[in-house]
């Protein structure tokens, strides 16, 4: 075994890297892997969750649902806020033993409230994704910039994410105030908030 620490030795997750617009299904795959749930392709899981991509990206997928314009204010990607793509329905259809619940942006009152909620998730050894405006985290608000990443740990008041994006570090620390702002900017209509998963 190497003496060089090239990845955090206390992470709860093995990072996976996403296909374009597949942050949600790829992040759910990380949760499935941690809980010993057999994996299915991210594209398949994403399709059931309403994954929609631009026509220019369709060639990257085996079978893609496309739209010439982003299908929601969140941008391209999954559409879990539509009833037919609601995660609990999808998990039941696909035989995935996970239960999903959502704490929307308006139910997170402050950065300290966000950290308190995440500390409880970590203490209970549950799994969560954070849904936020990625532009805010990168320094500027941008429309159609929805993103999710896996919540790993709270470290010295900062939030460590495991990020499926190929253009971001796999482990990244984000200031709680910045993440709170990014969640609020994304808003309820785009499912901004904490996505909680529990194994059945």
pLDDT digits (tens, 9 = 90+) for 15-31: 999 999 999 999 999 99
Residue 133 backbone dihedrals phi, psi, to 5 degrees: -85, 115
Domain presence at residue 36:
yes
pLDDT digits (tens, 9 = 90+) for 38-66: 999 999 999 999 999 999 999 999 999 99
Domain presence at residue 108:
yes
Domain presence at residue 113:
yes
Separation of CA 17 from chain center: 12
Rounded Cα–Cα distance for residues 105 and 110 (Å): 10
DSSP result, 114-156: HHHHHHHHHHTT-EEEEEEEHHHHTTS--TT-EEEEEEEEEET
* Residue 140: band (very low, low, confident or very high) from pLDDT cuts 50, 70, 90: confident
pLDDT at residue 142 in the model: 77
pLDDT at residue 170 in the model: 97
Domain presence at residue 13:
no
* Residue 2: band (very low, low, confident or very high) from pLDDT cuts 50, 70, 90: low
pLDDT at residue 73 in the model: 84
Domain presence at residue 98:
yes
pLDDT digits (tens, 9 = 90+) for 169-189: 999 999 999 999 999 999 999
Residues with Cβ within 8 Å of residue 23, at least 6 apart in sequence = 77, 147, 148, 149, 164, 165
- Overall pTM surpassing 0.75 (yes/no): yes
CATH number of the structural domain spanning residue 45 = 3.90.70.30
Beta carbons within 10 angstroms of residue 119's beta carbon: 12
Domain presence at residue 5:
no
More confident residue, 138 or 49: 49
Residues with Cβ within 8 Å of residue 163, at least 6 apart in sequence = 15, 149, 150, 169, 170, 171, 172
pLDDT at residue 3 in the model: 64
Domain presence at residue 12:
no
Domain presence at residue 16:
no
Whether the Cβ atoms of residue 114 and residue 192 lie closer than 8 Å to each other: no
pLDDT digits (tens, 9 = 90+) for 82-136: 999 999 999 999 999 999 999 999 999 999 999 999 999 999 999 999 999 998 9
Beta carbons within 10 angstroms of residue 129's beta carbon: 26
Mean pLDDT throughout 135-157? 90
Q: By residue range, what is the domain housing residue 66?
A: 23-199
Count how many domains the chain has: 1
Length of the chain: 200
Rounded Cα–Cα distance for residues 95 and 118 (Å): 27
């Amino acid at each position: 075994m190497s003496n060089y620490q090239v990845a955090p030795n206390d992470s709860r997750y093995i990072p996976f890297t996403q296909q374009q617009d597949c942050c949600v299904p790829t992040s759910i795959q990380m949760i499935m892997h941690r809980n010993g749930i057999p994996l299915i392709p991210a594209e398949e899981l994403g399709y059931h969750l309403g994954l929609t991509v631009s026509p220019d990206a369709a060639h990257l997928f085996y079978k893609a649902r496309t739209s010439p314009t982003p299908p929601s204010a969140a941008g391209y990607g999954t559409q879990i806020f539509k009833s037919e793509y609601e995660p609990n329905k999808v998990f039941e259809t696909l035989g995935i033993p996970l239960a999903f619940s959502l704490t929307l942006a308006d139910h997170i009152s402050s950065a300290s409230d966000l950290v308190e909620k995440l500390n409880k998730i970590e203490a209970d050894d549950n799994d969560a994704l954070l849904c936020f405006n990625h532009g805010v985290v990168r320094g500027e608000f941008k429309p159609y910039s929805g993103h999710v990443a896996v919540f790993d740990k709270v470290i010295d008041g900062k939030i460590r994410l495991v990020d499926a994006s190929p253009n971001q570090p796999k482990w990244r620390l984000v200031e709680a105030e910045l993440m709170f702002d990014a969640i609020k900017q994304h808003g309820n209509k785009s499912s901004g908030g904490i996505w909680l998963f529990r194994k059945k």
